Amino acid sequence: MNAADRLATLGVRALDVMRGLGHSAFFFFELLKSAPSALRRLYLTVAQIHSIGNRSVVIIAASGLAVGFVLALQGYYTLSRYGAAESLGLLVALSLVRELGPVVTALLFAGRAGTSLTAEIGLMKAGEQLAAMEMMAVDPKARVLAPRFLAGVLAMPLLAAMFSAVGILGGYVVGVLMIGIDPGAFWSQMQAGVDVWDDVGNGIVKSVVFGIACTFIALYQGYEAQATPEGVAQATTRTVVVSSLAVLGLDFVLTALMFSTPH
Amino acid sequence: MNNDALVQIDHVTFGYDQRVILSDVTLTFPRGKVIAIMGGSGCGKTTLLRLIGGTLTPQKGAISFDGQPVNPRDRDGLYRLRRRVGMLFQFGALFTDLTVFDNVAFPLREHTRLPPAMIRALVLMKLNAVGLRGAAYLKPADLSGGMARRVALARAIALDPDLIMYDEPFAGLDPISLGVAANLIRRLNDATGATSLVVSHDVRECFKISDYVYVISGGRIVGRGTPDEVQASDDPEVRQFILGEPDGPVKFHYPARDYAADLELH
CA distance B222 to B237: 7
CA distance B42 to B39: 8
Partners of residue B16 on adjacent β-strands? B19
The per-residue pLDDT for range A8-30, each reduced to its tens digit, is 999 999 999 999 999 999 999 99
Average pLDDT, chain A: 92
Distance of alpha carbon A168 from the chain centroid = 20
What are residue A212's phi and psi, to 5 degrees? -60, -50
Is pLDDT at A262 greater than 60 in this prediction?
Answer: no
What band does A260 get if pLDDT is binned at 50, 70 and 90?
A: low
Q: Do A137 and B94 touch (CB under 8 A)?
A: no
DSSP state of B254: P
What is the structure's pLDDT at A240? 96
Looking at the complex, report in whole angstroms how far the Cα of residue A34 sits from the nearest Cα belonging to chain B.
Answer: 14
Partners of residue B97 on adjacent β-strands? none
CA angle, A9 then A15 then A19, to 5°? 145
**Which spans in A127-201 are helix H?**
129-135, 140, 146-172, 183-193
Tell me the average pLDDT across A68-72: 96
Residue B93, by phi and psi: left (phi above 0), alpha (psi -120 to 50) or beta?
A: left
Q: Do B93 and A134 touch (CB under 8 A)?
A: no
| Terminal Cα distance for chain B, rounded | 60
Is pLDDT at A206 greater than 70 in this prediction?
Answer: yes
pTM confidence score: 0.87
The per-residue pLDDT for range A86-124, each reduced to its tens digit, is 899 999 999 999 999 999 999 999 999 999 999 999 999
Task: Please tell me the total number of residues recorded for chain B in this structure.
Answer: 266
Looking at the complex, report in whole angstroms how far the Cα of residue A244 sits from the nearest Cα belonging to chain B.
Answer: 29
Among B78, B85, B89, select the one facing A132 at the smallest CB separation.
Answer: B89
Is pLDDT at A263 greater than 60 in this prediction?
Answer: no
- Name the 3-class secondary structure at B213: strand
Contacts of B126 (CB under 8 A, 6+ apart): B104, B154, B155, B157, B158
What is the structure's pLDDT at B1? 45
The per-residue pLDDT for range A144-172, each reduced to its tens digit, is 999 999 999 999 999 999 999 999 999 99
CA distance A50 to A148: 10
What band does A183 get if pLDDT is binned at 50, 70 and 90?
A: very high
What is the structure's pLDDT at B124? 94
**Which spans in B112-210 are helix H?**
116-129, 145-156, 175-192, 203-209
Instruction: Indicate which of A125, A135, A141 best probes the interface with B, i.e. most B CBs within 10 Å of its own CB.
Output: A135
Predicted confidence pLDDT, tens digits, chain B (266 residues): 456 788 888 888 888 877 888 888 888 888 889 999 988 777 788 888 888 888 888 888 888 888 888 888 888 888 888 989 999 988 889 999 999 999 999 999 989 899 999 999 999 999 998 888 999 999 999 998 888 988 998 999 898 899 999 988 888 788 888 888 888 889 889 888 889 999 988 888 888 889 999 988 888 888 888 888 888 888 888 888 878 777 777 777 777 888 888 888 86
